[in-house]
C-alpha cells in the first residue's frame, strides 16, 4: 500500500509548511499544488488521483485542502472507494476504511463547506462595511492624481506617447490608460 499525499495552498504567498510537517512522516510521497480550491482544473490533484491503485491511500492534511464542498468530498470518496483506494485526513486522524470513519467524514465534509461559506460571507460583509466608510478596496494606485494629470496632459499635447509614459512609470500601457480614464471620469463636470 502506497500513501500518496496531496497538499494545496491557494496562492504562492501561502506556505505549505504546516501541511508538509503534518504529512511527511505519514505519506510515501508529497505532491503540492498552488491553486485556488474553486479552480475548475487541478492538474496536480488529477495526476495524484490517476496514479492511485487499488489498495493505495490518498492522504490530505485537512479536508478543505482537497475539496471545494461537501458534495465534492462525498463524490470523490465514493469514486475512490469504487477503485479500492482508501482516504485519510491526517489532522483528524480519520481513516475512511471503517463505517465510523466514513460517518465522521460525511459530517466533516459538511462542516468544511459551512466554514468556507461563512468565510466568504464575512469577507463580503467586511468589504461592504469598508466601502460604506469610504475606504478604498484593493491594491493602492500605482500613480498619484498629479502623475495622472501630468501624463494625461503630456499625451493630449503630444509631448509623449502613452507607451513612453507607461515605461517611465514602469507600468503597462493599458494600466495607464485605465487609470487616466478613471481619473478624468472622477473630475467634477
- Interatomic CA distance for residues 61 and 70, integer angstroms: 16
State the Cα torsion 137-66-38-79 to the nearest 10°. -170
Catalytic hit among 10, 36, 109, 183: 10
| Rg of the chain in Å (alpha carbons) | 25
**Location of C-alpha cell 471545494:** 68
Query: Could you give the 3-state DSSP secondary structure of residue 152?
Result: helix
Helix/strand/coil percentages in the chain, nearest 5: 55, 10, 35
Catalytic-residue membership of 10 = yes
Query: Could you give the 3-state DSSP secondary structure of residue 71?
Result: helix
Closest CA to 8 of 70, 51, 59: 59
Catalytic residues: 10
Amino acid at each position: 500500500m502506497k500513501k500518496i499525499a496531496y497538499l494545496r495552498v491557494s496562492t504562492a504567498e501561502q506556505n505549505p509548511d504546516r501541511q508538509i510537517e503534518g504529512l511527511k512522516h505519514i505519506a510515501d510521497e508529497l505532491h503540492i499544488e498552488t491553486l485556488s480550491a474553486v479552480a475548475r482544473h487541478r492538474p496536480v490533484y488529477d495526476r495524484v488521483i490517476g496514479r492511485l491503485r487499488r489498495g493505495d491511500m490518498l492522504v490530505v492534511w485537512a479536508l478543505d485542502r482537497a475539496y471545494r464542498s461537501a458534495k465534492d468530498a462525498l463524490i470523490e470518496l465514493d469514486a475512490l472507494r469504487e477503485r479500492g483506494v482508501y482516504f485519510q485526513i491526517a489532522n483528524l486522524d480519520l481513516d475512511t476504511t471503517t463505517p465510523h470513519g466514513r460517518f465522521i467524514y460525511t459530517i466533516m465534509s459538511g462542516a468544511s463547506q459551512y466554514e468556507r461559506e461563512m468565510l466568504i460571507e464575512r469577507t463580503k460583509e467586511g468589504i461592504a462595511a469598508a466601502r460604506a466608510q469610504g475606504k478604498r478596496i484593493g491594491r493602492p494606485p500605482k500613480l498619484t492624481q498629479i502623475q495622472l494629470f501630468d501624463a494625461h496632459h503630456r499625451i493630449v499635447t503630444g509631448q509623449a506617447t502613452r507607451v513612453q509614459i507607461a515605461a517611465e512609470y514602469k507600468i503597462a500601457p493599458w494600466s495607464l490608460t485605465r487609470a487616466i480614464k478613471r481619473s478624468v471620469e472622477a473630475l467634477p463636470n
